[in-house]
Amino acid sequence: MAQTTNLGLPLIEESMTADVVRDFNSLAQEIDNKVMPKDIETLSVSQISVSDGVRSLNLGSVANEIRFGTSTNHDISLITKSLERGRITAAGSLVWQDRILTGRAGMQIGQDASAAKNFHFVSDDVGARTAFRVYNGVYGSGIRMLGIDTAGNVTIGAQGDALNDEGWSKVVDIYKTGNLNLTIRTDTSRGVIAVHDSGFYGSSAGMILGTVTNQELSFVVNKIRRAVIGTDGSFTVTTGALGVSTSQDAMTTLSAGNIPGNGWRIKQIINSYNDGYGGAGLIFRAIRPTDGAFMDIKINYQKGGGDVMTESHVVKSTSAPSGGFDGQIWLQYT
């Protein structure tokens, strides 16, 4: 049977026999099944489909679900005031565009109407680079909390751009007026990296690195502990875990830039098994950078008084008061 194009109503053909009552009743029933009344409150059907022959939009219910979408491979646009606000693509991605605030596209998530409980996920260009940001407060005028820009820089704070005036490839910039701290903790240990203008732990303005709990601070290089600040305030230079034997010397180096390179610019304090006394000594070494020459003063703890000795390559003095010895220790009284 032939049908109408839009609603699929039956068309009377020449070969059909006419029955006015039957045919009018059939037509009325077909129209009643296919056309929604203008003032109806409830439409008792499981699904409404709108199609142009290629694209299909479906609204319906299945079990305990309300479904809205397409049965064809097409996007869905969300429109208000004749402007597209968002789009759900056929691939499943959600694209949101803010047509109210130019230069910004975002989505608000709020616990209730209170501005303090609202957060916004926004793509904006308030800084030099477009960035994905998290705001708190009234949409469009909230406080910036977190951002990741197109160069991969991360900002935590209200700043527009990550501070990178030294040309680093990527920057994590955390900013707050007065002070801020990065706390790293377990159930028993708590470490802190902080900067402040004044007033923390008796420190002057600057950076703080340390522990909040009563535990030591270790410095590790290549997965080996190299130095420790103990809970008693002591500073220990190690060649590994405390109590573990290694083949390395422990040393502290002082290099003074105001001493010329052809002078004894570098000084070292060395604790070594190779001190000439089987590890019973302590070496104080001076190094001349231009030619690598060095001079040592050694303290030998094996002898009762603790002898102080110098290397034999030190030129002997022929004048008093050294008397020609390899080196001197001066004791001066006033």
Facing residues of 79 across strands? 84
Give the DSSP H/E element, type plus range, for residue 287. Answer: strand 281-287
What is the pLDDT, as a whole number, of residue 197?
94
On whether the CB atoms of residues 232 and 224 are closer than 8 A, the answer is no
Backbone dihedral region of 266: left (phi > 0), alpha (psi from -120 to 50 degrees) or beta? Answer: beta
pLDDT of residue 332: 42
Question: Which of 9-23, 116-130, 145-159, 261-275 has the weakest average pLDDT?
Answer: 9-23
CB neighbour class for 95 (10 Å; exposed up to 12, middle 13-18, buried from 19): middle
Is the pLDDT reported for residue 176 higher than 50? yes
Per-residue pLDDT at 255: 95
Q: Say if CB 330 and CB 308 are below 8 A apart.
A: no
Q: Is the peptide bond before 260 cis (omega within 30 degrees of 0)?
A: no
Stretch 259-282: mean pLDDT: 92
Does the pTM surpass 0.85? The reply is no
**Element housing 30 (H / E):** helix 20-34
Q: Which residues of 252-279 are buried (b: 16+ CB within 10 A; e: fewer)?
A: eeeeeeeeeeeebbbebebeeeebebee
How far from 70 is each of 82, 83, 91, 162, CA to CA, in Å? Answer: 21, 20, 12, 43
- For residue range 127-140, what is the model confidence (pLDDT) as tens digits? 788 888 888 887 66
Measured in degrees and rounded to the nearest 5, phi and psi for residue 21 equal -65, -50
Which residues, in sequence order, are CB contacts of 237 under 8 Å at separation 6+? 226, 227, 250, 251, 252, 271
What value does the mean pLDDT take over residues 77-95? Answer: 82
Q: Which residues contact 263 (CB under 8 A, 6 or more apart)?
A: 288
Average pLDDT over residues 43-55: 74
Q: What is the pLDDT of residue 334?
A: 41
Mean pLDDT for 305-330 is: 51
Q: Calculate mean pLDDT across residues 100-110.
A: 62
The first and second tokens of residue 10, run together, are 């039956």
CA distances from 42 to 28, 39, 50, 95 (A): 20, 9, 18, 32
Give CA–CA dist 34/12, Å, rounded. 18
Q: What is the largest CA-CA distance in the chain?
A: 146
